[in-house]
Structure 1
Amino acid sequence: MSGKSGIGSIIASVIITLVFVIVLAFFVLPYLYPILSSKDLVSHDDLMDEGGIVIQSKYQEWDSYAVIHDNSVSDFIQMVDTEINISVEEGSQLAIEFSATSLMRLQSPFSGRSSYDIAIVVDGIGNRTFEVYYYEGGGGTGFIQELVFNFNYNYVTAPLNNGTYKINVFWISTSDVPGNNYLSVAKSTRNYTRSLWVTELRTQ
């Protein structure tokens, strides 16, 4: 009886562990990685499941200073330097990742909403846009605030015609609040950088 009881305990422990891991993956991981696009991750996984192969990858990193003030609300403007050109085969898809460390500066006494849209753009094909957002209620803190954001944004295109494509990043402010408020991306004096990683994928 003790042997059967021991085996039963082991099986129960395994089942409990599996349930715990599944629950953890389902409920916790989305909070640990909230800025990853589930649509793009699924697209990438589907390509791999279908026997997708990597044709080439291009990576570029910049530490040049790029900044947008919150009064730049009329049109998207291109983020300085942040551009990659890549030539692809017929039927390939591009998996693009934009990563950066940014600093949002809010002048005292800031109160209200500070928000910016950042778009990964493939010229002539499409874009994927994300939001950087902060809200301060009440009358403000009375101090200059500097908030750090880490980006890791993804965009997977549909199958493309053969040719050369330009990938770049645009941004725009979506809220103008009085004061010298801005969002900056990368700064060599602080070792902040931004990068684009572009991978050509295709199914077999």
Structure 2
Amino acid sequence: MPIRSPRGRAAAYRALWSWPLGSPLRLAATAVVVVGLLVLAGFALGGRESAERGIASPTTTTAVRAPSSAGPTALPPVAPLTPTTLPLSAVPPAALQVAANWAAAWVNHPDGVTNEVWVNGLAPFTTSEYVGTLSGVDPANIPASRVTGPARATEVSPRSVDVDVPTDAVTLAITVVETEAGWRVAGYDQA
């Protein structure tokens, strides 16, 4: 049946689409109806999909699609690493000497010494990475003033040694590692 309107077909469609804009009440009612229809359609379509997914028949096969583009893949599993420790008698004498020299430089902080001078005294025995960390230490906060005993290994690994060095205030727990430049201190803690 043709649209018979004095203004034509466009006017009829315009009147249909502009009806909700005639008042705020019409607009709200139209919005509620549209949202309701969308929710009902979602439940109707979603209910079927979930029912189909929930019950799988034994003959159902799942197709696996290959990725359309080359993306990152998972790495193969790596066996857990276990540290290799050696007997304390296997400690390299050079590692103990570096720890003793580093501890002597660590306690050498006369009043008024700047951080730069103090770190320069530690630098020959320290890894380059750890020198940057030590530049944030204030030598005035170091409680010890002298080393009171020899360096003693507490744990020995093929490329690192944990060493305790006693001072007049604390015992330094020093980690010495083997680098390309020889044995160097890579960290310490006050025990």
Higher relative contact order (CA 8 A, sep 6+): 1
TM-score normalised to structure 2 length: 0.21
Higher helix share: 2
Higher strand share: 1
Structure with higher Rg: it is 2
